[in-house]
Amino acid sequence: MTPLSFRPEVMIQGSENPQPDPMPHRAPRVSYRMSDPAMVLAETGTLALFAFGASTPLHDDPRWMQIALEPFETPAPLELWQVEGEVTHGRDGAVRWSAGGGWLFAALELDEHDHDGADAAAAIAYRTLHQFVSSRAERHVLRVWNYLDAINQGEGDDERYKQFCHGRVAGMGDFFVDGFPAATAIGHHAGTQRLQVYLLASDQAGTPVENPRQTSAWRYPRQYGRTPPSFARAMSLPAGDALAISGTAAVVGHASAHADDLQQQLVETFANLDALLQHAGMPSGLDTHSPLKAYVRCPGDAAQVRRFIHERLPGVPVLLLHGDICRGELLVEIDGWRYA
């Protein structure tokens, strides 16, 4: 008979009574809101607040981030992360951060012109974030977002996304030695060669989740670059009460499906989302508390994407953004959250 696996208890020195592991923290609540930024930032528990597009105002609060992706519907709502308890925030060199309730938001923006391109900028970004997070109690990185200019520019190994992937791994070192986080990488159209990277971390580990329909990204063959993408398909947060879903597109195995066919790519993308939820042990489908982002390559496709999602997921909050997918033949990508 195979013995049951167990985790040894942490013993209090000088005591025979074991100290149980701390209760996992409830997942941050992610939502979209039409509101005044100053009012939201003043609320208790606001960990981060995101605005989309160049027309949004700047703000010096470290929790505020202006994302370089343009929304298709304006005015666009703000994306709000809220946690239980008080939040502190500040800056550490290039890193802006906030923390509360066992959770950490950290972000930075780099100008590639100052760092010799996408490869070097990605290496510096991840090395900098690694150094910062390593100094924190909230050292378990669960979810990362990456936005860079002209993601598909270049041929072969010189494509900017492949350069980014190579630099990311060079910079991360042993950052993710216990497993890769969930992640998204999307190309923006700001024309500034600005790299934006931000993350969610916790003082407790999550559980990476893979999709049985897809090859794990770090196992992609050589045709996808010198260094394969390094992310999990999703991350179950410590309490098991939420799933952070990575950027998901029409990829089966490691190959793109239905090249340049938007309708079939949407069908395949939703098949991947369904399989991912099932493999994660989450309830099937998505509900009105499950905010999604849909990144759409061609502006003329936005209406079709909106219609498809609203028909499949009535009432689910969706933010449509103009963004390029990491493979030129892919037209749409979806990421988001599923709460238990």
Residue-wise pLDDT tens digits, 59-97: 899 999 999 999 999 999 999 999 999 999 999 999 999
* pLDDT for the residue numbered 20: 52
Domain ranges of the chain: 27-339
The catalytic residue among 70, 79, 268, 333 is: 333
How much is the average pLDDT of 16-30?
75
Which residue, chain included where needed, has tokens 């905010």?
291
Neighbours of 305 (CB within 10 A): 25
> Cα(153)–Cα(52) distance, rounded to whole angstroms?
23
pTM (predicted TM-score) = 0.92
3-class DSSP state of 169: helix
Q: How far from 328 is each of 168, 169, 248, CA to CA, in Å? A: 20, 22, 15
Name which of 126, 134, 124 is nearest 104 in CA terms: 134
Among 190-194, 197-201, 300-304, 325-329, whose mean pLDDT is lowest? 190-194
Q: Is 80 exceeded by the pLDDT of residue 8? A: no
Residue 204 predicted with pLDDT over 60: yes
Q: What fold, for 27-339?
A: 60s Ribosomal Protein L30; Chain: A; (3.30.1330)
Comparing C-alpha atoms, which of 305, 51, 7 is closest to residue 196? 51
Q: Which residue has better confidence, 126 or 19?
A: 126
Q: What is the pLDDT of residue 283?
A: 87
Q: How confident is the model at residue 26 (pLDDT cuts 50, 70, 90)?
A: very high
4 pLDDT band, cuts 50/70/90, is very low
Label the pairing between strands 64-67 and 46-52.
parallel
> pLDDT, tens digit, for every residue of 305-324?
999 999 999 999 999 999 99
> Pick from 340, 339, 310, 306: which is nearest to 322 by CA?
306
In the predicted structure, residue 254 carries a pLDDT above the cut 60: yes
Tell me which DSSP letter residue 193 carries: -
Active site residue 73: no
Among residues of the chain, what percentage have pLDDT more than 70?
94
Query: Looking at residue 22, what is its pLDDT?
Result: 72
Q: Name the token pair of 73.
A: 């519907």
Tokens of 60: 């010096």
Angstrom CA distances, 288 to 62, 240, 263, 266, stand at 29, 19, 23, 20
User: What is the per-residue pLDDT for 178?
Assistant: 80
Q: Which of 244, 249, 169 is nearest to 208 (CA)?
A: 244
d(CA 226, CA 205): 29
Q: How far apart are CA 301 and CA 56, in angstroms?
A: 24
Residue 13 pLDDT grade (very low, low, confident, very high; cuts 50, 70, 90): very low
Residue 48: pLDDT over 80 = yes
